[in-house]
Structure 1
Amino acid sequence: MVILIYARSPTDAVWLEGLLAKIPHLKLESHVCSTAESMDACFSSFQPCIVLVDATSNDGESIQIMNKYILLNPKSAFILLMDAENEHLRHEALEMGIVDFLTKETLSHVVLEQTIQEVTERKDQELELLGHYKNLEKLVFERMAALWAEKELAQNAHCATSAFLSEISHELRTPMHAVLSFTELGLAQISPQDPIRHFLLRIQQSGQHLTTLLDHILDLAKLESGKVEFNFQPGNLLDVVRAAENGLSSLLCNRDICLDVVPTNISPCLTFDHEKMLQVVINLLGNAIKFAPPGSRVTLFFSEEILPDKGIGVVLNLHDSGPGISEEEADAIFNKFVQGKKNRSRIGGTGLGLAICREIIAAHKGKIWATTHPNGGALFSVWLPRHPIVSSGDNDHPCKQ
């Protein structure tokens, strides 16, 4: 074990070496320094386990020595030899990182041996703990780097998928418009009794469905890529509901569905994009009409709710008397190309409408979710904040070029 002694007084240095010589079984190797220059030379040549700093002369240089070398040599344990009455020096040395204190009046080789053993064990434990900490820090850093890499990879794949779907949709729209145009031309030129009319109507219906799918793919791709501009303005959600009801009046009439808008004292005046919110309400109301049994009612009502980390907001609730939403599907139905298993067999759809709704509501700093109503049927809820919406800007979007 290498011990470095810093002592300005040659007498004190010889005395300390004499005490160390009385501890033969520890196999100590001591070196003496009396100046800062000699300390530099020693530390550049070897790493001492223990550094004994004699501060009994109280000339201020020992403070400078400790302040410099404790920071530069964290593996060495510094022990301060001082006068018993110098409490100011004790507190100052503690702040610097001294591990133990010895007083010259009570120092013996027995006390010195015990102190060296205790300090060495403590320093070994400290270094072991530091090693574990650095290893843990390294593992955390590597894991975080791996997670960031996975996130970036997934983000790039997500953006590439959106770009691909957008490109494919554009490429398919032109021939699909040609198919629909020629179908309409054929329907206009044949008689209602012509058997070919049935096939043309099927082509027209399928083409319109595919066109709707392409439109939804384009809408979703633009939303996910951050290329959609939102025009947030103060407005009344009731106006949006009435506009959606007018737009779906023929569907309501055909299925004999009554839309019941429950009167409320809650003010639905918020800040939102009127066109985008109309798209959301039309989608939700259209689904409710499709899934509700003919002759039943669809209920729309408002409520207020405080969400954690979001504050107070207004909730637009839409309840139908259809088959409802299973608990395991409540989140999945908002993903792309996902439909509830109960409805897939009898109700058509693109599987993109709710995904589009989720993106629009997210841009409004809101939340959308679905549950099964206690009285049966599905309950869709859209939460929008009371406070004005501040757009984060398109440049923050991960897919924005």
Structure 2
Amino acid sequence: MNESKPLSPRNSAHTSATIKLPKKSRTQRFIRGLLFMLSSFLFVITLFIAWIFMTTSGHHFRYLVADTLISSQHRIWAKYVIGDEALKSRVNDYQNIAVATGSEKATHEIKLTENVSNPTQAKPVEIKEISGKGYKGHIVYVRDPKSLRLVVPDKAGKGEKVSSMVKRTGALLGVNAGGFADPNWKGNGFVPIGLVISNGEIFFDSSGRNKPAQIVGIDKTGKMIAGNYSPNELLKLDIKEAVTFQPRLIVNGKGQLKNEAQGWGIAPRTAMGQKADGTILFVIVDGRQPGHSIGTNLYEIQQILLSEGAVIAANLDGGSSTVLVEGNGSNNSDESEEIDPRIVNKPASQHGERYLPTAFLVFEQPEAITIPNIWAHATKEQLDPSRW
């Protein structure tokens, strides 16, 4: 009797492997899968468009994106998010906010602590790391406000990196200060915006002695001044160091921005404040670097400064200009003994530090520092940003 032999596992596997779907069936399955993915994608896009244009949260998101673009070199792109007319209105709103925050008269008083007159009791400069939702940065504490000087480049025709200013002058620390003319974001950092005052002397004034401008600075007693002032008013107030920038964030211990909607978008930030004991505060936040820090808005900067006890505070130039440099307090002429300053933060510019017209520097002996006015004899070509 013939007995049939069972298929071996090997033969069974071979048999099943040889079973193939018809070519037409496989093509249909592929097309159905592709259509499903496409329809799912379109469904998600439709939901996203409905959310961003038809809900309150979507409206806030669109304006957050627009505000972030407005504070960057890609401002023109904001019109594709909120429209051209809304962009013009938004920029105008920000200007109105800046004017409003600069209108209240500052009545705060500064009482310097014993730590200032006796520096052995506290470090003249301290740096602390900070972080929050989506950002990383630093707070700088300058115990003696009189140790601040506004430093400018030493050569006409081009700005200077803050690290170079710190090394050249032997400063303890440096932070970027005012803005500058930057047509098509190709500026060389030489021509400031508005007003520059160093050691009580007006170095640069693009508007006139009687026209008010938003300024940030410090007077001869060490008291921080920020707000809307004309150059002549500032001279009467014995202003010593100042630049033009805005908006003011804190006046008489009160925050001026009501909420994050007034925060001018997400960006790298630099801000300056002062406590009632005279301590100067600099807040430096990195940005535009996913994985490290995307930045923050000015409302959050305001809240940080309020939590530190600031009674007055104002925004300084930010974005790609934001930089914090730590020096060694020595301008030794022997290059073999020089130690390069350390860039503490991570600047947003893809080219590293930017060339800038002004920086606030901290010195052990500020009265010994001579700052020449490089704009006094600058040529028309050097002062024309369109030629860069």
TM-score, normalization by structure 2:
0.27
Bigger Rg, structure 1 or 2: 1
User: RCO (CA 8 Å, sep 6+): is it higher in 1 or 2?
Assistant: 2
Higher helix proportion: 1
Higher strand proportion: 2
